[in-house]
Amino acid sequence: MSYSDKVIDHYNNPRNVGSMDKNSSDVGTGLVGAPECGDVMKLQIKVNPQTNVIEEAKFKTFGCGSAIASSSLATEWVKGKTVDEALAIKNMDIVKELSLPPVKIHCSVLAEDAIRAAIGDWKKKQEVARPVAAEVK
């Protein structure tokens, strides 16, 4: 199987590899996939609480080159977007950008799931924070 140049580029020069403090209130963490399936992605976002803009994103992936590229691309795309804008990212956008063959489409699906999971986690934290803030007031 030959990879597209973009997949190779992301593989050799992955963007935003790393970790953020998952306990921080402005960090959302998405962990999707399973080791038995050969694909696990962890995607984290740091969201500005005032503007809801994703200011920072990091990823780590256990998976094939296409999985690594998909999640690397995902971190690139979410940065600078609001949370709602990021939710609009569709896996087929990733497929198109990376020229993923049919057999690798599931990698893009997992990357979309990872974005959603990270946003979902962040949103949950915001809902939990609000009642506490009200209590403090």
Nearest to 79 by CA among 123, 11, 25, 15: 15
Show the site string, 65-104: x = touches another protein by CB under 8 A, - = not: x-xx----------------------------------x-
> Rule CB under 8 A: is residue 28 a binding residue for another protein?
no
> Rule CB under 8 A: is residue 115 a binding residue for another protein?
no
Nearest to 108 by CA among 82, 59, 70, 60: 70
Q: What is the C-alpha to C-alpha distance for residues 66 and 123, in angstroms, rounded to an integer?
A: 28
Q: How far is the CB of 104 from another protein (least distance, A)?
A: 8
Query: Three-state DSSP class for 4?
Result: coil
> Rule CB under 8 A: is residue 9 a binding residue for another protein?
no
AA letter at 50: Q
> Rule CB under 8 A: is residue 13 a binding residue for another protein?
no
Of 12 and 48, nearer to another protein (C-beta) is: 12
> Rule CB under 8 A: is residue 19 a binding residue for another protein?
yes
Q: Which residues pair with 45 in a beta bridge?
A: 28, 57
What are the catalytic residues? 37, 107
